[in-house]
């Protein structure tokens, strides 16, 4: 899979991404915000990379101009809604690239892919309550708040965390895109 935006490319992982994935995934802030243990070694990062390559649910985000790896984005099974074509969206951007709205751009590319290529009916998205950066992105995207999952997950460090969950239907996505088109015409 390859999606091309104004500043970003979303693509399948390659074996050559192992070192970049390790440098990204070994940052304790990134892992904590996403809920996974920071990668302690390159071998662990390679195992994660191979999993991404096999499962085809998590993809590499790169800068379009330089091809630099800046993060990951996932579109994975939504187990809460098993009777409709539903997916969940997840994203992580390396700390050095924060503040550039890359997560927003990558998420918009992935939403277009989900709704217009895969025919998904609804996309869910969530964040741990302490992850305010992800919350801002999710709100900017126009996801609708669904609720708080108390004691949602026990993290690798033993901490039990709450999570906020949101969703966007295909109709809501289409209205959002139409509104953006109309605003740009003025």
| Model confidence pLDDT, tens digit, residues 158-174 | 999 999 999 999 999 99
Residue-averaged pLDDT of the chain: 94
**pLDDT score of 119 more than 60:** yes
User: Is residue 183 over pLDDT 90?
Assistant: no
Q: Residue 111: pLDDT band by 50, 70, 90 thresholds?
A: very high
pLDDT band (50, 70, 90) for residue 181: confident
What pLDDT, on a 0 to 100 scale, did the predictor assign at position 185?
Answer: 61
Element (H, E) at 47: helix 42-55
Backbone angles phi, psi at 131, to 5 degrees: -95, 80
Q: How far apart are CA 153 and CA 161, in angstroms?
A: 6
Partners of residue 72 on adjacent β-strands: 60, 92
Average pLDDT of the residues in 88-107: 96
pLDDT-derived band at 61 (thresholds 50, 70, 90) equals very high
pLDDT score for 81: 86
Cβ neighbourhood burial of 36 (10 Å; 0-12, 13-18, 19+)? middle
Q: What is the distance in angstroms between the CA of the first residue and the CA of the last residue of the chain?
A: 34
Helix (H) or strand (E) holding 178: helix 170-185
Q: Span 122-137, mean pLDDT?
A: 96
Say if residue 116's pLDDT is above 80.
yes
In this model, does residue 186 exceed pLDDT 90?
no
Q: What is the mean pLDDT of residues 80-105?
A: 93
For 12-54, write each residue's pLDDT tens digit. 999 999 999 999 999 999 999 999 999 999 999 999 999 999 9
| pLDDT of 184 | 73
pLDDT of residue 82: 80
């Amino acid at each position: 899979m390859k999606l091309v935006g104004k500043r970003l490319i979303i693509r399948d992982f390659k074996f050559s991404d192992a070192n970049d994935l390790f440098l990204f995934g070994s940052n304790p802030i990134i892992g904590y915000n996403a809920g996974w243990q920071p990668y302690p070694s390159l071998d662990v990062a390679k195992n994660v990379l191979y999993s991404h390559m096999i499962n085809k649910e998590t993809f590499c985000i790169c800068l379009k101009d330089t091809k630099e790896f800046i993060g990951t984005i996932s579109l994975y099974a939504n187990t809460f809604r098993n009777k409709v074509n539903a997916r969940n969206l997840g994203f992580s951007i390396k700390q050095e690239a924060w503040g550039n709205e890359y997560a927003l751009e990558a998420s918009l590319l992935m939403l277009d892919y989900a709704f217009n290529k895969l025919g998904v009916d609804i996309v869910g998205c969530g964040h741990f309550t302490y992850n305010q950066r992800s919350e801002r992105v999710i709100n900017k995207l126009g996801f609708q708040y669904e609720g708080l999952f108390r004691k949602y997950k026990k993290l690798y460090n033993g901490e039990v965390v709450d999570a906020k969950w949101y969703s966007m239907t295909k109709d809501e996505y289409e209205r959002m895109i139409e509104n953006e088109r109309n605003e740009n015409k003025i």
